[in-house]
Structure 1
Amino acid sequence: MNHTARRIGRSLALVLPVVLVLSGTFAVSHVNWSGNPADSVLTASSEDASVPAKPRAAHDVLREKLLLELQEKDPGEALTSLQRAVDRKPSLARHCVSLARALGKAAVKTYGATRAQSFARPVCDTSFASGVAQFG
């Protein structure tokens, strides 16, 4: 048993310095020594980390919420939520057509054109129906 431990110890004594030298060499080779940020391996991640995320527009947040609701419930519920959101926040009215069309497109993907059309309501001047027709 003592002989096995000694062999393992000798092996580690030979291998460990090689591993340390190689890992140090790799670490040094990835440092940008030129001073030019374009040459840096870490440029992309370090620049992305320092830039704060842009706040998402209300209509983009609403679009994701409505598409999720369409998947979890049905297009009729999503259209009702769209109408309520536009009623609560009139500034969303200018995005209503594109939101309803996106719902129409998603409904066709999920339910097929015929079934998706059955959910159509007069929200945003029948944009849902035109989205179904366009993508159906």
Structure 2
Amino acid sequence: MTTSRYHPGVNQAARRIGRTLAFVLPVVLVLSGTLAVTRVPWAPSGSEAQVLTAAGATARDTSSDSVRRPATPQDALERELVTVLQEEDPGVALTRLQEEMNRRPSLAPYCTSIARSLGRAAVAKYGGSLPLAHAWSRPVCDTSFAAGVATAPGR
């Protein structure tokens, strides 16, 4: 009778460790990337503006940026379409968005973010009512309007 070198307890432990790492490692990587912090050398030492997170700039920073640089075509289109949505209805704004994407293909990379903004604006227009805002959903820009409705604050 020969003794086998196979140890079932060791294999099970290795698999358990491997599965745990396979689950935990991506979570750790995502969280570390999301919470990444960098210091900017041009800000005065010790100031609040010196630390920028991956989440983005503060409201104060964005307002000063819009004063310094002219509006980009996609920003202008977004503002125009939000105004149309507020004055008329989301259907008109979404139709115009689709027409602009066909007319100016260079704006296509911004279509999803504009459609999401329109979804959030629709929720705001209808006082936080998701069903009213969601009723206007169309497959413009890969259903990003519906995603904007679903993620709108104050619903």
**Alignment TM-score, normalising by the size of structure 2:** 0.52
Structure 1 stretches of 4+ with a deviation exceeding 4 A read none
The residue that corresponds to 1:103 in the other structure is 118
Once residues 117 and 54 of structure 1 are traced to their aligned partners in structure 2, the CA distance between those partners, rounded to angstroms, is 34
- Alignment partner of 2:69 out of 34, 47, 54: 54
What's the Cα RMSD here?
Answer: 1.4
2:126 equivalent to 1:126: no
Number of residue-to-residue matches in the alignment: 85
Matching residue's letter, 1:82? L
Identity %: 51
Once residues 120 and 71 of structure 2 are traced to their aligned partners in structure 1, the CA distance between those partners, rounded to angstroms, is 22
Once residues 56 and 119 of structure 1 are traced to their aligned partners in structure 2, the CA distance between those partners, rounded to angstroms, is 28
Once the two structures are TM-superposed, the CA of residue 58 in structure 1 deviates from its matched residue by 0.3
Q: Secondary structure at the match of 1:99?
A: helix
Greater RCO (Cα-Cα under 8 Å, separation 6 or more): 1
Q: Superposition pairs for residues 17-36 of structure 1, below 5 Å?
A: none
Q: Mind listing any 5+ residue stretches in structure 2 that lack a counterpart?
A: 1-66
Once the two structures are TM-superposed, the CA of residue 134 in structure 1 deviates from its matched residue by 1.1
The structure richer in helix per residue is 1
Structure with higher Rg: it is: 1
Q: Mind listing any 5+ residue stretches in structure 1 that lack a counterpart?
A: 1-51
**Alignment TM-score, normalising by the size of structure 1:** 0.60
The residue that corresponds to 1:86 in the other structure is 101
